[in-house]
Structure 1
Amino acid sequence: MFDRHYAAWPDHVPRHLTLPQTSVFSNLEVSALRYPKRNAIVYYDSSITYEALHKDAEALAGYLKNCGVGKGDRVLLYMQNAPQFITAYFAILRANAVVVPVNPMNRATELEHYVADTSATVCICGQELVGFVEPLLGDKTTLQNVVVAAYSDALNVETDLDLPAEVRAPRAELSHPQMIAWNDALNAGHVPGPLTVGPDDLAVFPYSSGTTGAPKGCMHTHRSVMATAVHGVVWTHSTVESTILATLPYFHVTGMQSAMNGPIYSGATIVLMTRWDRKVAAQLIQKYRITRWVNIATMAIDFLSAPDVGEYDLSSLNNISGGGAAMPKAIEAKLYELTGLHYVEGYGLSETIAATHLNPITRPKAQCLGIPVFDVDSRIIEIDSGKELGPNEVGEIITHGPQLFQGYWNRPEETARSFIEIDGKQFFRTGDMGYYDDEGYFFLVDRVKRMINASGFKVWPSEVESLMYRHPAIRECCIISSPHPRRGETVKACVVLKDEAGAVTEEDVIAWCKEEMAAYKVPATVEFVDELPRSPTGKLMWRVLQEQEWKKAAS
């Protein structure tokens, strides 16, 4: 068991955590019993109590049962962040079924993969996505029933907040016989059967894109989902009095666990946003006295770049954390200057349903994954030999813990390749390159597949990106490889300049890099772009830029 990090373990936090031996739905049931009139959700100033949320989840579970959904069946949840997402999530679990959260950026062809892979017969979707679901109905796929939610139905008071178009849109009429409006499904009067699932039954299949091939369903049980939900609450000292700002998408495991399942477990209040808007976020933090905000570095960068951010009262915040990419030091410094809080980074994957590593709140390290959390055993190994490495030696991060998935749905061969046995335990091979320091803090170097090999010199793009963020004119950057006739491949930087940068040339940036980093790391070319491609969760889609670069060179 890796224990080097215990010297940095936070005070008053146990090293072992006993998890509830119940279903994830039980968390909502218990909070509704304890705090029936407390707001579970605040949605653009409209509120929903725990009692009402529980009642709606039970009603929708009854409708799902009437559609033939039974234990272990997969139900697609294809929706943006909204109260209906939370209701549907818990309704599916209440029906003893499995939640399959689908990225709302996916379109009909992509959605067809999820239907075929899971044999789902029911999809619960936002009404703006109906056009992508409808082509799959009839006898074309297994899909038979679609519940359609209008986000505006969750608004019960007037608001002066700027609402996204999808939230403003009134409920539309449905013409397809296999579709039913959200309110009609809830009011149909169906009652769910008994709750029969327990900790070792399947609960959620978040899909991982991996490095190659079609997305793969990560099989998570109620036990593994419970693990990171409870871990986050205990680590951050969250209580029923906490108020969490939810800006990360719920289809993604970080948003799902930190801003939905964790708060519902503790009976806290979720202040929910459908779309990211830095002004609305600042207004909500001030108005609802937000205590915790989990985001990604790109959101924090955008938030802190607002010229009027200092005019808002952010004093209620006691924890700002995130992951997905390292927080640039300059941005972290601005955050500390503004709030007195350090940005607390963490690390996890779809296969671990959020965090396996978190920084201690009182002892965080910048651009660091953190230390292994409760009952997690992480190691560093050589990629090829599997030999375990020591402190400050770069290798692949492997991990074992209660949040580990059961494998990839319908892909036993890929599952087998993803694990390695050490000391009688099965460790998941993350595909991430990193190391741990003398205190047991883990650091990410890069993805195994992303390394640039320039004449034998190994260049890790995230390291170069981190250095380039120090340039006063650079707002964002992405490092990719570019083919080179002599070196094989070389380094290229795609750069977004700050609005106030003025006249900055490619030569200026390269000259600056030569002063700041080893010669083999210096970008051979710099391309200025208006924006970088990002996923719906805000992650930098470096692979898109990489593929474009090599295709351009080939032609």
Structure 2
Amino acid sequence: MQAEKTFSGMMRALPPLFRMDEAKGLGRTFKQQWGGGGNTLKIVLKIFTGGQGLLKNLRDLGRVKVGKIVPNWSLAMWEIFDEREAGVDGDRRYSYRELKDRVLKLANALQGLGVQPKDRVATMIYNSMAFLEILNATSLIGAPMPFVNWHLSGEELRKTINLRTPRVFIFDADLLEEVLKIKDGLGGVEHFVVLGGDGPPPQGMLSYEELLEKAPATRPEVNFLASLNPYTGGTTGIPKSSNLYDSLSYALSDLAEAPRETFENFLPYTMRAFSYFYWFGGDRICDPVSRNIRSLIVTPVYHAGTAAGWAPCFMLGATGVFMRKFDAEEFLHLIEAERINWVFVAPTILQRVLALPDEVKKKYWLGSMRSLICAAAPCPPQVKRDINRLFMERGAHGPVFSEYYGSSETAIITILLPEDYEEDERRINSVGKARCGDLGIFVEEEGRWAGPNEIGRVMGRTASTLALRYPGSEDKLHESIRIIDGMEWYDDGLLGYVDEDGFLYLTGRLKEMIISGGVNVYPLEIEGMILRHPAVFDAAVVSMPHPDLGEVPIACVQLHEGKDASADDILAFCREEGLHGYMLPAMVEFFPQLPRHIDGKIIKRELEKLYWKDVERKG
């Protein structure tokens, strides 16, 4: 059943919606981040009176046509905030007044290039303020914005871009050489726009800054669609495109495609999807100078998880501080220098920070931090403890580590907060409880839902999964959507269990599970044990062939620089920590560096192929 937006349906849905704790928390968050009740009232009034005027806005609202009303939200914020810092990009600082002018110019420039609602404007750029400019401009005019991974090259890059057939492709000047190699194979791209660079762009391409210079800073023809369009699955072949612009926009847009759920049932999922602003402390965080969230954006903007870092800038008036490329010491320096109180990271970032010499870590005051949000890959519990210890030693008021589980398809499902593991220290081993969607553990072999502490397949149900489509590869949807007891669930291919209090513990990916002599072996459990060894920096457990058992686990280990340990040391440590039998690695091998994707996930297929070369693979 698809959602049909009607005024009567909206009126029925709103009373229970506003009674939700998540709605109340979001209300407090907007009030806090928008600068109090006075500013909030001004912004709300401008939303309903701006643009086409109060009467036409009310008429459209009565028809549940909001595409020309919602842009007033952003425009009102920018006008009210005015000289508040919108972003910091290297030595350059941008006010909200400047952001507004540049966004309006870009929106008009894109429409001047022929961009229509639902046309794609793809980007392949490093972390910079230009990301917020393009995101806001494309959202105003309803043009999805595919985030292209700048690590891709050649045929893989060409296929990834062509999957979404963008009309405009904006890319960083440092990536020009890669783009030129495939330019002739990008038949759908009408305009190539170069961001940055010292000289003029090549013939047939446009300069980003020149586009802005020639365009007016006036209100464009607006038709709102939150334009975020990340890719997913990029470590295992050509990525798929995730239509988050539909699911997260549906209640706020006339362009978004309807979810596979009634409007009244879908709205609470939308409210829960955005509730992470509140759960991660948005109703309390207040910089002493700018009075808002100040977010350090360090993970690549093409990664879906990075939205947890930039979304407060998009919706709440936060200040975004951009790191073009990650450096562990600079990360600490920027937290101190820019009074950072909110950051999204992958676990590998925390590991690199903790690996810094003590004298470097002690140079920086980190007392401004309130929410350090981690996701994208499993974070070892000891890393969680150690990063809390570092921040509290350097001035933080208490534990700062938070975590979520989600994906490009689901957005956020579970959230782990400091108060969770302060109440019960065992919970630090979990990824939190379902706060932004529904969660279930399904025992596939028996066709039933699991009980507490019983391992099964992790199933999620969120606003994003209910509208998921994979534009350009729609046929892939059936691989992950399941109908169980008449309801639609998303299967992420993960295994885990939920305890009596609803906290989710991940045990690994189904495709990574090792079946040794008929016994299921979960690599994540072994990796977590090995990572407790003081000499170990990183670890990955993969399968290797065995003549009798079929396959057995092998531990691939990267040591801390300057520390030593032998294979026997690692195995003895595992035994002391309780690993035995099939769970004990059959072998330990050492690597100078384990292959990790930039989002923090270990690329295990590169390790496994070392051991399965010329061997017939398991079923």
> Same fold per TM (> 0.5)?
yes
Q: Which residue of 1 aligns with 2:612?
A: 550
TM-score by length of 1: 0.87
Change in CA separation of 1:90 and 1:514 when aligned onto 2, cut-off 3 Å: same
Q: Is the 8 A contact 2:243 2:470 kept in 1?
A: yes
**Deviation of the 1:543 alpha carbon:** 2.3
Are 1:126 and 2:199 an aligned pair?
Answer: no
Kindly provide the amino acid, as one letter, of the partner of residue 136 in structure 1: I
Tell me which amino acid in the other structure corresponds to 1:312: Y
Q: Judge conservation of contact 2:377–2:599 (CA < 8 Å) in 1.
A: no
Matched, 1:246 2:297: yes
* Structure-2 separation of matches of 1:416 and 1:192: 41
Whichever residue aligns with residue 197 of structure 1, its letter is: F
Residues 109, 379 of structure 1: alpha-carbon distance in 2 compared, 3 angstrom cutoff: same
AA matched with 1:300 = L
Which residue matches 2:139?
Answer: 93
Aligned equivalent of 1:313, options 354, 365, 370: 365
Letter in 2 for 1:263: C
Give ranges in structure 1 of 5+ residues lacking alignment.
1-11, 151-169
**Kept after mapping to 1: 8 A contact 2:144/2:245:** no
Give % identity. 26
- Matches of 2:303 and 2:502 in 1, distance apart? 28
Q: How does 1:259-338 map to 2 (within 5 A)?
A: 259-307=309-357, 308-338=360-390
Determine the structure 1 residue equivalent to 2:191.
Answer: 145
Structure 2 unaligned regions, length at least 5: 1-18, 31-63, 253-269, 286-290, 393-397, 422-426
Contact 1:246/1:293 (CA < 8 Å) preserved in 2? yes
Distance 1:45 1:28, change over 3 A: farther
* Amino acid aligned to 1:302: R
CA distance in 2, matches of 1:211, 1:293: 24
**SS of equivalent residue, structure 1 residue 173:** coil
Relative to structure 1, is the Cα distance of residues 331 and 360 closer, same or farther in structure 2, using a 3 angstrom cutoff? closer
Following TM superposition, by how much is the alpha carbon of 1:512 offset from its aligned partner in structure 2, in angstroms? 2.6
Contact persistence 2:514–2:521 (CA under 8 A): yes
CA contact (8 A) 2:88 2:322 kept: yes
SS in 1 for 2:160: helix
**Aligned-pair distance for 1:412?**
3.5
Q: Of residues 190, 213, 223 in structure 2, which corresponds to 1:196?
A: 223
Matches within 5 A, 1:141-540: 141-150=187-196, 171-177=198-204, 179-189=205-215, 193-197=220-224, 203-209=227-233, 213-221=237-245, 223-224=247-248, 227=270, 230-238=274-282, 241-255=292-306, 257-307=307-357, 308-338=360-390, 339=392, 340-353=398-411, 355-364=412-421, 365-374=427-436, 376-384=437-445, 386-404=447-465, 405-502=467-564, 504-516=565-577, 517-540=579-602
> Does structure 2 conserve the Cα–Cα contact (< 8 Å) formed by 1:400 and 1:425?
no
Q: Deviations over 1:355-414 (max 9, x none)?
A: 11101342132131111114x211111235542111111111111122334221133432
1:243-293 CA-to-partner distances (Å, cap 9, x unmatched) read 1111111111111x2111223311111111011111111111111211122
Q: Residues 75-105 of structure 1, C-alpha deviation per residue, up to 9 Å, x if partnerless?
A: 2111111111221122222231111001111
The amino acid of 2:479's aligned partner reads R
With the length of structure 2 as denominator, give the TM-score of the two structures: 0.78
What corresponds to 2:603 in structure 1?
Answer: 541
1:47-100 CA distances to partner (integer Å, 9 max, x unpaired)? 111121122122112222122211111221111111112211222222311110
Instruction: Note the alpha carbon deviations across 1:509-532, whole angstroms, 9 max, x for none.
Output: 223323330221111121111111
- Please state whether the residue corresponding to 1:306 is helix, strand or coil: coil
Say whether the 8 Å CA contact 1:476–1:497 is kept in structure 2: yes
SS class of match (1:137)? helix
SS at the partner of 2:123? strand
Quick one: distance in 2 between partners of 1:211 and 1:45? 34
- For residues 337 and 293 of structure 2, what CA distance do their matches in structure 1 show? 14
**Residues in 1 aligned to 2:300 and 2:237: alpha-carbon distance in whole angstroms:** 23
Call closer, same or farther: CA 1:26–1:259 in 2, change over 3 Å.
farther
Cα distance in 1, alignment partners of residues 80 and 483 from structure 2? 43
The letter for the 1-side match of 2:302 is F
Q: Distance in 2 between matches of 1:302 and 1:493?
A: 21
1:224 Cα shift? 1.8
Seen in structure 2, the aligned counterparts of structure 1 residues 328 and 233 have a Cα distance that, compared at 3 Å, is same
- Is the contact made by 1:327 and 1:366 (CA closer than 8 Å) also made in structure 2? no
Q: Distance in 2 between matches of 1:326 and 1:282?
A: 22
* Structure with more of its chain in helix, by fraction: 2
Q: Deviations over 1:94-142 (max 9, x none)?
A: 2311110011111132221123211222101101111122233347522
The answer to whether residue 108 in structure 2 is matched with residue 82 in structure 1 is no
Q: What letter corresponds to residue 318 of structure 1 in structure 2?
A: R
CA contact (8 A) 1:79 1:104 kept: yes
For 1:511 and 1:460, the matched residues in 2 are separated by: 19
Contact persistence 1:229–1:258 (CA under 8 A): no
